[in-house]
Amino acid sequence: EVQLVESGGGLVQPGRSLRLSCTASGFTFGDYAMSWVRQAPGKGLEWVGYIRSKAYGGTTEYAASVKGRFTISRDDSKSIAYLQMNSLKTEDTAVYYCTRTYCSGGICYATYMDVWGKGTTVTVSS
């Protein structure tokens, strides 16, 4: 069964750091890009960023709201994607979803997110 499981969420003070993990199973992790999407309480979906597969350079893209503060990385040997969040702000409070993202024909389609985890909750508060 194809599955993504996020972990690492919790309560953190503003200005501190937190690292989320996304453990994948049921598919060849290295063949896919991996993305993070968040949803603030009662709000819509917001794309955080993604990391391409190694075959497509393993490079990253980020939303303007998190660029310079958040870093996405991956460990293909463990089938895990990470979201390192630094200098957290209260507005980063959200459920964070990990998603599998499709790449083909030389392009990673960042919007093509076909598998989602259940999410992990991050609360930034003093």
Give contact residues for other proteins (rule: CB under 8 A). Answer: 35, 37, 44-47, 49-50, 61-64, 97, 109-114, 116-119
Q: Would you say 35 and 47 are in contact if contact means Cβ atoms under 8 Å apart?
A: yes
Q: How many whole angstroms separate alpha carbon 101 and alpha carbon 110? A: 6
Q: How many whole angstroms separate alpha carbon 56 and alpha carbon 33? A: 9
Nearest distance in Å: CB 35, other proteins: 8
Residue with Cβ nearer other proteins (64 or 126)? 64
Q: How many whole angstroms separate alpha carbon 87 and alpha carbon 109? A: 29
CB-hemisphere CA count at 13 Å for 29? 17
Residue with Cβ nearer other proteins (14 or 34)? 34
Nearest distance in Å: CB 74, other proteins: 18
Nearest distance in Å: CB 75, other proteins: 23
Residue with Cβ nearer other proteins (44 or 68)? 44
